[in-house]
Amino acid sequence: MSPVRALRDFYEDPAVPVASGAGRSRRQARLLAHALGPVRAGAPGATVLDIGCGDGTAAATAAEVLAGHRLIGVDWSQDALRRAQARIPYVVRGELSDGGLPFATGCADAVLFSEVVEHLVDPDAALDELHRVLRPGGHLMLSTPNLAAWYNRGLLLAGVQPVFSEVSMRRIHGRPGTEVVGHLRLYTARALRGFLAASGFEVVRIAGAPYHDVPRPLRPLDRAACHLPSLASILLAHARRRRE
């Protein structure tokens, strides 16, 4: 079986998590709402694509903050889209490979790309496709786990596999946690900034967000780490497509 087919089968499994934490989804949406500004009376709102929307939980959370804008959920998993239809009004099946997304060049004012890039075989091609569908100056809001999160630094010093990293698609080996979620790529804040810049984006800001599965006694420390994004659990990047 090809790696791409294996990934398709993996993500079509209803047992595989397809939603992220509501808190960081709301934070990401607020960053985008601030970037887009208020919807003017009588004017159409922005077109926002949530690429890799999963079950629509994050998009539904974002819709509360992005009132007046048109939010479209996009995913390759039919099972995820069936669940997303109950939460958001517009869903489209689309892929970042095999011909690209079913949208015209420059059609989108903004793209939400929430915890998708770490699952991709070819993130370079994916960023090229996001760059294509965004209008010049359009916003990309990308979130991804931080390889250099504060606890991962300690785990590596102790010789333990970092949280978020996976060596197998079948089971967890050598790291905390019990769920296999299919992470193939991991980024530090520095690596993410360089990757976005090399893909034709101007990085506006990289912020930090907490991780919902941090043990309760450690959550205050996890929230505090967000003030220094290079140590945060989750990286939230706001970038803009460069104007040619």
The mean per-residue pLDDT over the stretch 162-166 comes to: 95
Neighbouring residues of 172: CB distance < 8 A, sequence distance ≥ 6: 166, 178, 179, 180
Q: What is the pLDDT of residue 66?
A: 93
Q: What is the pLDDT of residue 227?
A: 97
For residue 135, pLDDT beyond 70: yes
pLDDT cut 70: percent of the chain above it: 91
For residue 9, pLDDT beyond 70: no
Q: What is the mean pLDDT of the chain?
A: 90
Count other C-beta atoms under 10 Å from residue 111's C-beta.
Answer: 25
Structure-block tokens of residue 143: 């979130």
What band does 119 get if pLDDT is binned at 50, 70 and 90? very high
For residue 4, pLDDT beyond 90: no
19 vs 72: which has the higher pLDDT: 72
For residue 199, pLDDT beyond 60: yes
2 vs 216: which has the higher pLDDT: 216
β-bridge partners, 113: 142
What band does 17 get if pLDDT is binned at 50, 70 and 90? low
Which CA distances in Å does 58 have to 55, 92, 240?
8, 16, 21
- 171-206: b or e for each residue (b if 16 or more CB lie within 10 Å)? eeeeeeeeebbbbbbbbbbeebbebbeebbbebeeb
What band does 203 get if pLDDT is binned at 50, 70 and 90? very high
Matching residue, tokens 């890799």:
52
For residue 134, pLDDT beyond 70: yes
Q: What is the pLDDT of residue 3?
A: 54
Cα(96)–Cα(107) distance, rounded to whole angstroms? Answer: 16
Cα(71)–Cα(47) distance, rounded to whole angstroms? Answer: 6
